[in-house]
Chains A and B, each alone.
Chain A
């Protein structure tokens, strides 16, 4: 073989070996980058071994401890102060609740007038929460009157804060009916799990999100998508709904699950859609499901008024939701 070929091949082989060696070393070095020893990894893994439920319980108990401490401190302070005249927790429940006057127009957020409550010193928080302290039947009557008169008292900021505090560990679950709570800025988005346009089978996919929020109560609010999806398949609807409940119930316990009615469409809209007009039939089945599984069913049909529908004839407006929240606040312990 010619000399230059021999030399050339030697050079080629030399380079090839060099390249392979360097490549090998480089890959090894790459693998050694950004790695942790098993000891280090297990240290971090161990940090994550905590028990979700235990910690959650611990947090809750500390919260209640602190709340109790604060209350007793507040009580101690108030008993130490004579000059206040009537005490801060006056029996506002005993005041005649004037139901007919506060006729603020729609959509304004002025506080309910206190002019009608009795003339004791307006200690701020309590009069504003007056509605929330009503017994359920009285509140229901109040709401019915307001709905009939078509003049709704908007939620005051105090009421809203109180409601939010009450539902702090509640998750609202459903479709666009539940989403409305966020839209109307009534409930924080982190407490609502929804699937827009969802039907029972697609909503069921999100039950793990509900679980992930470690709620104490779950409120389920679904709408008319099911009427369309399960049209003439009532048994499938029931089966799927039960499946969904099977996933929700273990999270909070059946008694902590609250299912809201499947509300009907507006008369005008329902006249054009035979499927949606079946809503009451679905709702009836829903009641049965709730009864047999032990979850709570909350009837909303008494609240339905044509004037409270939004343009699409399916969803309700902000004031409706506000009344709804008041109702739920009192209804749900």
Chain B
């Protein structure tokens, strides 16, 4: 009797399963054929595959079939939902890592670091700095000696005395900022944030090693006094320990607080005699889900994006040279509302931007950077009348020529460690600039 009922139950269950299965197959099959296809995934920030072209060649080689598979899975109905479901399931099982990003304590999404050998870039930088005239005393026309941390740095003398110098003024600084993983690794108190044993290279050690080997090379070239290497690990770690958020939880960038922390450090070395401004924070977005949130979509919390504003900040004219556009603020409303709020800073990355300010000085700055610097520039404007911002990933011009023609007082290289390590465009641009130009 029981066994009969059991059999009937099992049969019932099997039939239900079959019915639901067929319904699911049919309904999604129809949905796939009928629904309009999405073209862009805001979650993934990429353009989705399109319907492939049906040619005899593509069919015979099999590429048509592959493309169709990609297209169907890219435009599957309800895709982001499915992805979140799967992501949630994975973290339920304990697999809290995806795409090199791991869910850490306090809801931080932390990206692992892969180290690369950057000694070639170091050599290129030294050659570049030499070629722009920083190292040699003679060719520099800025006799007001804007060497670092030294004498009358705030002098307005600059290059107005008509000395026709063809060089970047006296000094440069290199600021490679650690990412969240690097700051965590640099301080024992923070080390518990990262899941124990999470395999990653040690960014903190790599940064330290990079700086010390660079310092050696600078010493050998006799350029130590003119080139500052700024190590912001301790400053950022201290702020973090204090409880201030210096990195976004779901984005690989630093917060404005983090940028300000590093800026204070930089200013103390490069512009010690200049007055500091006080800023107040204005929130411009309270629901920021950054780039890392797409990798672990189930485990994301929002952050707020702040702009630091001071009444004493000068007015600016921001000229996006290759876009033929000029704005009057470093902060872009389009960037804010465009799907990635971090782009409120400067509207994103452009090959070359020239910023002119109403600061009462004629100092000029050349800034070679990646996207970390976008949040940093606001702090620089009170001290320079002109800032030329170059992003080597997009810039195709002759950097050396630009550096010489512009008669800059200072050259700042500002990158985050991950991009600096991974990206090769700085190397490419430097090589192109130096090709055949140096004096023996």
Pairwise interchain contact A41-B156, C-beta atoms closer than 8 A: no
Q: Does A17 sit within 8 A of B, measured CB to CB?
A: no
Q: Does B339 sit within 8 A of A, measured CB to CB?
A: yes
When distances are taken between beta carbons in the complex, the residues of chain A under 8 Å from B106 are: none
Known interface pairs A4-B16, A74-B161; A34-B287 also in contact (CB < 8 Å): yes
Which of B23, B165, B287 is close to A35, meaning CB atoms less than 8 Å apart? B287
Pairwise interchain contact B285-A40, C-beta atoms closer than 8 A: yes
Q: Is the interface of A mostly helix, strand, loop or mixed?
A: helix
B205-234 CB mask vs A (1 if < 8 Å, else 0) is 000000000000000000000000000000
A188-225 CB mask vs B (1 if < 8 Å, else 0) is 11100000000000000000110011100000000000
Which of B161, B163, B358, B397 is close to A58, meaning CB atoms less than 8 Å apart? B358
When distances are taken between beta carbons in the complex, the residues of chain B under 8 Å from A26 are: 80-81, 84
Which of A9, A45, A157, A188 is close to B164, meaning CB atoms less than 8 Å apart? A157
CA distance A208 to B352 in the complex (A): 18
Pairwise interchain contact B81-A41, C-beta atoms closer than 8 A: no
Pairwise interchain contact A66-B156, C-beta atoms closer than 8 A: yes
Known interface pairs A55-B317, A70-B157, A158-B164; A41-B336 also in contact (CB < 8 Å): yes
Which of B20, B160, B358 is close to A55, meaning CB atoms less than 8 Å apart? B358
Closest B residue to A71 by beta carbon equals B160
When distances are taken between beta carbons in the complex, the residues of chain B under 8 Å from A65 are: 360
Pairwise interchain contact B16-A213, C-beta atoms closer than 8 A: no
When distances are taken between beta carbons in the complex, the residues of chain B under 8 Å from A162 are: 164
Q: Does A185 sit within 8 A of B, measured CB to CB?
A: yes
Pairwise interchain contact B336-A36, C-beta atoms closer than 8 A: yes
Which of A12, A34, A52, A62 is close to B317, meaning CB atoms less than 8 Å apart? A52
When distances are taken between beta carbons in the complex, the residues of chain A under 8 Å from B156 are: 66, 69-70
Known interface pairs A47-B329, A56-B317; A23-B78 also in contact (CB < 8 Å): yes
Pairwise interchain contact A30-B42, C-beta atoms closer than 8 A: yes
Pairwise interchain contact B160-A70, C-beta atoms closer than 8 A: yes
CA distance A47 to B333 in the complex (A): 9
Stretch from B59-67, B176-184, B320-328 at the A interface: B320-328
CA distance A214 to B23 in the complex (A): 65
Pairwise interchain contact A11-B289, C-beta atoms closer than 8 A: no
In the complex, which residues 17-74 of chain A have their Cβ closer than 8 Å to any Cβ of chain B? 19, 22-23, 26, 30, 32-37, 40-41, 43-45, 47-52, 55-56, 58-59, 62-63, 65-67, 69-70, 74
Q: Does B319 sit within 8 A of A, measured CB to CB?
A: yes
Q: Can you list 5 A-B contacts with CB-CB less than 8 angstroms, sorted by A residue number?
A: A8-B15, A34-B287, A43-B284, A50-B329, A162-B164
**Which residues of B does A touch, CB under 8 Å?**
11-12, 15-16, 19-20, 23, 42-43, 78, 80-81, 84, 156-157, 160-166, 282-289, 302, 307, 315-317, 319, 321, 324-329, 331-333, 336-337, 339-341, 344, 352, 354, 356-362, 385, 397, 401-402, 405-407
Closest 8 CB pairs of A and B: A50-B328, A8-B19, A4-B15, A161-B164, A47-B329, A158-B164, A70-B160, A209-B324
Kindly list 19 other residue pairs between chains A and B, CB separation below 8 angstroms, not including A34-B289, A44-B336. Answer: A26-B80, A26-B81, A30-B43, A34-B285, A34-B288, A36-B336, A40-B284, A40-B286, A43-B282, A48-B328, A48-B329, A49-B328, A66-B156, A66-B361, A74-B161, A157-B164, A158-B164, A160-B166, A190-B354
